[in-house]
Structure 1
Amino acid sequence: MVGRENLTVLSGFILLGFSDAPELQTTIFTIFLSLYVLMVLGNLMMILLTIADPQLHTPMYFFLSHLSFIDFCLSSTIVPKALEIFLLGRSHISFLGCFAQVYFSLALIICEGFLLGVMAYDRYTAVCKPLLYTTTMSKRCCYDTMVLVYTTGFLTSLVHTVLAGRLSFCRARSINHFFCDLPTLLRFSCSPTRVNEEKA
């Protein structure tokens, strides 16, 4: 068992990406890079605009700026490694690198889901209870809500990642994707994954 775990740490995983079409790697790299740059510029512009314009210091734009921040971080968790694969062909990712990618991507996806729920509630309050809106969605309430969103997302992801990290991986470790995700890791495990699937 110890030998298996050491083997896993040393060898890591292979991200296949679009390896079945090597002639398209440069084109795929160009498309991904262009979309990534546009996404970064768009999200940063949204954040800076919200900070710079006092008229946008409202709960709706406060939440929108956090949504932009989460989108920026989520893309930055996945896309740089994908670009490295497409451009340089370095498809190897270490065991720890893969789990870091799983942790941050899962945490940010959970945060985004909760934030979209909060934004829906914000719009519901603005439309259906306009007289109570300023007290219900006060600045303190918005900050406390975002702390709760981030705490819930990162703690939930930590539980999933720690449980997955306790598994041993003895099967083929070629991931048919350009990033690591939790369901794929569970499929590669030669340990029982019942606890992981119950927590999902």
Structure 2
Amino acid sequence: MTSKTVLITGATSGIGAHTARLLLDRGHRVAVTGRNETKLKAFLDAARHPDRLLGLIADAADWQATQSAVTRIVEHFGALHAAVANAGFASGDYQRTAGATLSDGDPTLWPPMVLTNVLGPALLAKVALPHLEATGGRLVLIGSVAGLKNSPANLYSATKWAVTGLAENLRMHATTRGIGTRVPQLIGVLRHDRA
């Protein structure tokens, strides 16, 4: 298997961290980003294969941070073969109450969720697509069953619908340039990990 360079945003825990470890174990070079320096350091310290692992502090919803991260990855590893827009979360009100709606949620908690979940994948696509075109690479946007099965007045669900829509219009754009796109719908994975 030819070793590839893969960027995973929001990869200091959960699905992103697990995916990074699997890719490292299979011989790939992996770059991970996260907003929390302590969590990033803990992940880097616990991960094997430090020669093929690069960790960067970056907020997926920040254009300059995303641009800088991709530039550093390409400089460090020489290319980018895949970018995984994994960073995302449900704001505190949606985490506490599974059935939270716009009417009972806390609007002061929503902007970071919307920016990370919707703007983050768009920013990553913007900066990564030229590199992925050069390598015939892949762009993966991590979705959710919430992006396919609507919930009444649920803003988190709406952000995941946006990811599904973004992936479809990126697919229409990217496949004409030799780039593959994908939105895996991770049904039940998060619920299983928390049990």
TM-score, structure 1 as length reference? 0.31
Q: Greater CA radius of gyration, 1 or 2?
A: 1
User: With CA pairs under 8 Å and 6+ residues apart, which has the higher RCO, 1 or 2?
Assistant: 1
The structure with the largest strand share of the pair is 2
TM-score, structure 2 as length reference? 0.32
